[in-house]
Amino acid sequence: MRNILVVFIFCFVIKGFSQELNCNLVVNAQQTGNENFPIFKTLEKQLTEFINNTKWTNKTFKNQERIDCSMVINVTSYSGEAFQASIQVQSSRPVYGSSFSTPIYNFNDKDFNFRYLEFQNLIFNPTQFESNLVSVLAFHVYMVLALDADSFSEKGGDAYYKQAQTIVNYSQQGNFKGWKLEDGLQSRFALIDNVLSPTFKEYRSVMYNYHRNGLDVMSDNTKEGKDEIGKSLQQFQTMNSRRPNSFLLRTFFDAKADEIEQIFTDGPNVNIANVKEMLQKVAPMHSSKWQNIKY
């Protein structure tokens, strides 16, 4: 009887608690012309297990607390163990008091070349470079964790950003693109450098206030929530005046433009004339959406 009880408790713990992510990962190899080759299915299966089964933090997550995310790896060519690819990473988090999920992270990483041998071990080392495949995936995992944490508490993602920055630093030795300053303004290096720079300090403030004081309030008081979202977005005016058309602004609105349009075209009207004017200035690429906003 005692042994049965121990087994029951063990199974309850395993079932009741899980790792941090609920990631849907897809490997698309259509551009290679060999998408049905077994190696691509093996890669997809291994990476899915690696992302979802690795313990990325020292926190315990219940199943319902796991962060929903997706990764789509588009392989354009390969030769032997060398793969040329890009990866699209997206994540979302639930909105308090609703069945709605809000997008948090949307990043198209075009510099994702890696080496992979079928069935090779995939091991993440927080302080040491193992492979570009592991480093790129781990970097985006920590960006997902960091932005999610920032949306629930002010600067809640500090530890995860620090780990993402560590990955950037030690991965430079691998001589793969995306890890260095000279790799462009839309690289992994640029992303973490910008997020942690005082030049863009408003970005993390917006992430918190937009979600915690805005979206999460709307189920109880829609008008108050919309007002807070408008106020939070106004902070981007200061950031944009300091560094116009920044990479961080583009990544934010790539994830949020559709949602912002929907928020301010439905429900009770709020006076956001200044917000609409600001949006036209800081995110003109979405001007067709801003034209639909009513106030």
The structure tokens 């934010």 sit at 252
**Token pair belonging to 117:** 């041998």
What are 14-53's pLDDT values in tens digits? 344 468 999 999 999 999 999 899 999 999 999 999 999 9
- What is the model's pLDDT at position 24? 98
Q: What is the mean pLDDT of the chain?
A: 92
Q: Where are the alpha helices (DSSP H) in the chain?
A: 2-16, 38-53, 132-150, 158-171, 188-196, 201-208, 222-242, 247-265, 273-282, 287-290
Domain ranges of the chain: 2-196, 202-290
- Indicate if the pLDDT at residue 109 is higher than 50: yes
pLDDT, mean of residues 63-84: 95
Put simply, whether the predicted model's pTM sits higher than 0.85 gets the answer: yes
Residue 11: per-residue pLDDT: 38
| Mean pLDDT, rounded, for 131-143 | 98
For position 295, what pLDDT does the model report? 64
- pLDDT value at 252 more than 50: yes
